[in-house]
């Protein structure tokens, strides 16, 4: 099995947005929701409209991963608006799958999801991109934004911080922390 990488450069993420949005708004939102929430692929492909809506039928402000219920992931307002627009545009009901096949109206398969992400990356000349890239991209950028590796580890469900660092491609040497107190 080939190793896939996170998308480290924000410019490359924006290029992926452009390519995916040009092909399909669904594909764009699949990618964007995944890298903003770090959702597991099995959950992403089975996500229903009611999973992203609160009881007032508004798009949720926070995503809570089922196994890490005390960690909330904020869903950006722009993504909330885009999800609402997509749900309205596609006339999806609360029980409908959020990301369904255009042909069968059933959930996307892992293979379909892979083809979507891989084709966009290939068009941009990006190598080592696959479905795990989505979760790795989330974790990498969470780490780069200052989130503790131990919190990311817990959220991802990893056993050790070393496993998490390896998952996102951060070497031990690159992860030195400096604490400077001036009490």
> What's the total number of domains in the chain?
1
Domain CATH for 112: 1.10.443.10
- pLDDT tens string for the chain (183 positions)? 568 999 999 999 999 999 999 999 999 999 999 999 999 999 999 999 999 998 898 999 998 866 666 889 999 999 999 999 999 999 999 999 999 998 888 999 999 999 999 999 999 999 999 999 999 999 999 999 999 999 999 999 999 999 999 999 987 665 566 667 767
pLDDT of residue 66: 61
Backbone angles phi, psi at 38, to 5 degrees: 70, 20
Q: Please state the pTM of the whole predicted model.
A: 0.91
Structure tokens at 141: 């950028």
Helix, coil or strand: residue 38? coil
For the beta carbon of residue 30, count every other beta carbon within 10 angstroms.
Answer: 22
Residue 178's domain comprises: 1-183
CA distance 60 to 63: 7
Beta bridge partners of 59: 53
Beta strands in the chain (DSSP E): 62-64, 72-74
The answer to whether the CB of 169 falls within 8 A of the CB of 6 is yes
């Amino acid at each position: 099995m080939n190793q896939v990488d996170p998308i480290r450069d924000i410019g490359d993420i924006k290029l992926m947005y452009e390519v995916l949005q040009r092909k399909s708004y669904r594909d764009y939102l699949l990618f964007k929701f995944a890298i903003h929430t770090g959702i597991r692929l099995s959950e992403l492909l089975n996500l229903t409209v009611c999973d992203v809506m609160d009881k007032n039928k508004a798009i949720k402000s926070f995503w809570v991963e089922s196994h890490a219920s005390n960690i909330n992931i904020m869903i950006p307002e722009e993504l909330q608006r885009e999800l609402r627009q997509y749900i309205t545009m596609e006339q999806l009901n609360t029980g409908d799958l959020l990301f369904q096949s255009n042909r069968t109206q059933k959930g996307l398969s892992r293979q379909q999801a892979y083809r979507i992400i891989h084709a966009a990356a290939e068009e941009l000349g990006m190598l080592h991109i696959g479905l795990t890239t989505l979760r790795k991209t989330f974790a990498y950028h969470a780490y780069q934004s200052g989130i503790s590796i131990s919190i990311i580890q817990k959220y991802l469900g990893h056993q050790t911080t070393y496993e998490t660092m390896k998952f996102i491609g951060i070497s031990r040497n690159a992860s030195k922390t400096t604490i400077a107190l001036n009490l």
